[in-house]
Amino acid sequence: MPTAIGRDELISRAGRADSPHTLFSTLATQLRRVVPYDAAVWRATDPETGMVTSPVFAENIEDHSCAVYWQYELFTEKVNLFRDLALAPVPVASLWAATGGEPERSSLYRGFLAPRGVHDELRAVLRVDGRPHGYVSLFREKGRAEFSTGERAFLEDLGTPIARLLRAYAKRRPEPSEDALTGTGLLLFDADGALVSANDEARRYLEEMPEGPASLTALGIRVPLWVHGTAMRARAIAEERGGDTARIRMRTRTGRWLVCHASCLRGADGRVGVSAVVIERAPVSDVTPLIVQAYELSEREFEVTQRVARGLSTSGISEELHLSPHTVRDHIKAIFGKLGVSSRGELVGQLFTEYYDPAPPSPSVTGRRGQGVSFGSGRLR
């Protein structure tokens, strides 16, 4: 049973991280002392679709391998699928245990892991309130023991606290900027998943993406895993291989919210053809639910907040929601406390304005862009 570092201490250290990327790197450093592994991938996910979004933190894995790994997940794998684990009573599983010691039953193992010298994989979905906020994959090389029951349980215990930390990062406001991203970016991927075309707006959006695994394309453009994964998901949907949407919300290096969605086109013969990926600024209606979840507002508190934003009075909210005025005031007081505001105007501004379109900095203020973290030796190729 893991004893090198306590669960609470690990979570406490992770909780001091100032970004999801730093959170993942902190977890990697600390968890490796308790649950030894040779390589790993830590992914944030969109809690609505369960799809990988930014950021992604890879250890000892080459960038292009992350996209190949995800192709198996979407198109051929049947063991320990993340979408299944997200709904399972226990959202943690190891390949060795799930196959009864016969990992060859997994297409991912046969085609990707075994050729790279991997003996076992431990997967976990980081979820809170039934929503997935992250996926973790830990790998052990051949010659090491498979992941134990105790190690699986330790990772399971971390799931909800870490998911809560990931969810809370949505509260971070974007950096003010006079050069806001605008327009609609369009990328086209061929039937083999290769990028064949991109407009200028797409190139600009991709330049603003945070550090993380990416594919270097023939066009000289680096396409992050979460964007490429959206294109692959669209193809999987078109081929009826699972999933009901290919859509994620993601953040740029400066914290701007974007939405990325994809669909797969068909030719005159009905065959699946080009996948079209669109990137654009996320509307307020897409961002607000994430902020509400981050502040842990209840469903009723969100309903009250929406009506406050519409300018309804306490009596108007009371009539519309069939609540007493006293109950409405109690809800508003609780909402103010969670968001740290003292007026309805502050509440509306914080939830519906500041996260979407922050004011540009004054001429005397200069910003500092965080540097990406490079990690790993590229052991898994």
- pLDDT digit string (tens) for 110-156? 999 999 999 999 999 999 999 999 999 999 999 999 999 999 999 99
- pLDDT digit string (tens) for 5-40? 688 999 999 999 999 999 999 999 999 999 999 999
Placement of tokens 């809560």 in the chain: 164
Distance (Å, rounded) from C-alpha 107 to C-alpha 68?
12
Convert 79-93 to b/e letters by CB count within 10 Å (16 or more is b): bbbbbebbeeeebbb
- pLDDT digit string (tens) for 270-301? 888 899 999 999 998 899 899 999 999 999 99
- pLDDT digit string (tens) for 336-376? 999 999 999 999 888 877 666 554 444 433 333 333 322 23
Distance (Å, rounded) from C-alpha 242 to C-alpha 52?
15
When mean pLDDT is compared across 148-152, 243-247, 311-315, the lowest value belongs to: 243-247
* Residue 215, token pair as written in the block: 């594919």
pLDDT of residue 134: 98
Distance (Å, rounded) from C-alpha 234 to C-alpha 244?
9
Confidence label for 268 from pLDDT (cuts 50, 70 and 90): confident
pLDDT of residue 349: 83
pLDDT of residue 156: 96
Mean pLDDT score across all residues of the chain: 89
Tell me what percent of the chain is helix, strand and coil, each rounded to the nearest 5: 40, 20, 40
Percent of the chain clearing pLDDT 90 (strictly above) = 78
Count of residues making up the chain: 381
pLDDT of residue 4: 52
If one compares 244 and 259, the residue with the highest pLDDT of the two is 259
Q: What is the mean pLDDT of residues 174-186?
A: 83
What one-character-per-residue DSSP string does 228-243 give? HHHHHHHHHHHTT-S-
Q: What is the mean pLDDT of residues 225-249?
A: 91
Detail the DSSP E strand segments found in the chain.
39-45, 52-59, 92-94, 118-128, 131-141, 185-189, 195-198, 214-216, 222-224, 247-251, 257-266, 272-281
Whether the predicted pLDDT of 309 surpasses 50 = yes
